[in-house]
């Protein structure tokens, strides 16, 4: 499993380099780690995740995935890297509303040219949604939709899972279930899980805690 190494990551918007939403953030994420990113609203957590996951480009600084410097890749290569080696989970689930649950899960398989085999049924079973193949996303509860989103993020076997506030819209019971699922599924297969969250109880599960305050990385282990 590849490491992610980021160096002096800095992001500003437009012509305001003095207003840095992320400022000189460096670190290393080892393959297979569970990394939790915490910090107040607006501190830069999503910005950091988006830069590490190739959804956004830094104004300055580098991200390396294994021995690949992301800045050397054109848009198409970055898309390919994301599609094959990464999975994304968001607060608002982001399932495709016009596709059934099963078709949502088929999407990453077909985009990567992978056979379906028994994978769709297997993954629905793993996330506790056996038998819901033909349901539409809006027929599922929030917790159920997020479990479909987890299956969709993992089904094609990516190395890196990025989860941005995956429990932000869930009640405590569903939040705990989603966290336990994500942690368990990633650990059993040695995947790297990078999660931004306000849920302090997740911190105890992390191998590494990144605390961000006003766009800067606070020393490891320090409270937000």
Distance in Å, CB of 24 to ligand ATP, minimum: 15
199 contacts ligand ATP (rule: CB under 6 A)? no
Token digits for 45?
A: 């957590």
Interaction between residue 21 and ligand ATP (CB under 6 A): yes
Minimum CB distance to Mg ion smaller for 101 or for 209? 209
Q: How many residues bind Mg ion (CB under 5 A)?
A: 2
Annotate 194-210 with DSSP letters as a single string.
Answer: EEE-S-GGGGGG-SEEE
* Binding status of residue 47 toward ligand ATP by CB under 6 A: yes
211 is a site residue for ligand ATP (CB under 6 A):
no
Residue 42 interacting entry, from Mg ion, ligand ATP, none, C-beta within 5 to 8 Å by type: ligand ATP
Contact region for ligand ATP (CB under 6 A) — 45-53, 81-89, 138-146, 155-163?
A: 45-53
Calculate Rg over the CA atoms of the chain.
17
Told to check if 43 binds Mg ion by CB under 5 A, we report no
- Answer for which of 9, 46, 51, 210 binds ligand ATP (CB under 6 A) is 46
Residue ranges that bind Mg ion, judged by CB under 5 A: 45-46
């Amino acid at each position: 499993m590849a490491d992610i190494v980021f160096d002096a990551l800095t992001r500003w918007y437009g012509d305001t380099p003095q207003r840095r939403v992320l400022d000189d953030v460096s670190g290393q994420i080892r393959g297979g780690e569970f990394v939790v990113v915490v910090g107040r609203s607006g501190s830069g957590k999503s910005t950091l995740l988006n830069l590490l996951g190739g959804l956004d480009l830094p104004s300055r600084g580098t991200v390396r995935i294994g021995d690949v410097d992301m800045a050397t890749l054109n848009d198409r290569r970055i898309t390919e890297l994301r599609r094959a080696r990464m999975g994304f989970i968001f607060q608002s689930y982001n399932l495709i509303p016009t596709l059934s649950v099963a078709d949502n899960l088929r999407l990453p398989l077909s985009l990567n040219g992978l056979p379906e085999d028994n994978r769709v049924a297997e993954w629905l079973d793993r996330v506790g949604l056996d038998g819901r193949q033909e349901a539409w996303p809006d027929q599922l509860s929030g917790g159920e939709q997020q479990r479909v989103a987890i299956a969709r993020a993992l089904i094609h076997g990516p190395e890196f899972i990025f989860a941005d506030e995956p429990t932000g819209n869930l009640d405590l019971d569903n939040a705990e279930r989603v966290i336990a699922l994500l942690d368990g599924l990633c650990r059993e297969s040695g995947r790297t899980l990078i999660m931004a969250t306000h849920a302090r109880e997740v911190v105890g599960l992390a191998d590494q805690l990144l605390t961000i305050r006003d766009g800067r990385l606070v020393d490891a282990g320090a409270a937000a």
